[in-house]
Structure 1
């Protein structure tokens, strides 16, 4: 499967939005919803954004999201490896489509 190099993420997001995709950010914010309670709309494709481990999603990317979701963490830890978080998030979102 060929891959695409994205040089302008905001332009890519706007193209995805015009195609009717839901732009979903994976980030803990004051507005984010737990992935345990978030209800995925079944009538739209999703573009799931994940940031870097050190700084998360940038402010412009967060502002471009239709919604933000997070994985609830117990204890004092508030973050995990971005690859692990993305894998868990994709799994939880796909479970809703079953």
Structure 2
């Protein structure tokens, strides 16, 4: 049985977009390389939000462009996601969530 093709992750797309950068590189050089490589819109927007500074290597770019991994939060919830609460509003025969 054949394995279905794996879709590239955000990390994979970032690496493919900046593989041609000569490091150390300024932010504008990283962004320009991604544009020259015709990176997708999401990848380009992530790189465009990089802080303006000099990056020593691809690892530093990835660290700045990718969100940090979620870690367990105090209280045992463990998801790192913000708490969400809902309340049901009832009135005149209709219900909605606020």
TM-score scaled to structure 2, two decimals? 0.32
State the structure with more CA Rg: 2
Identify the structure with the greater helix proportion: 2
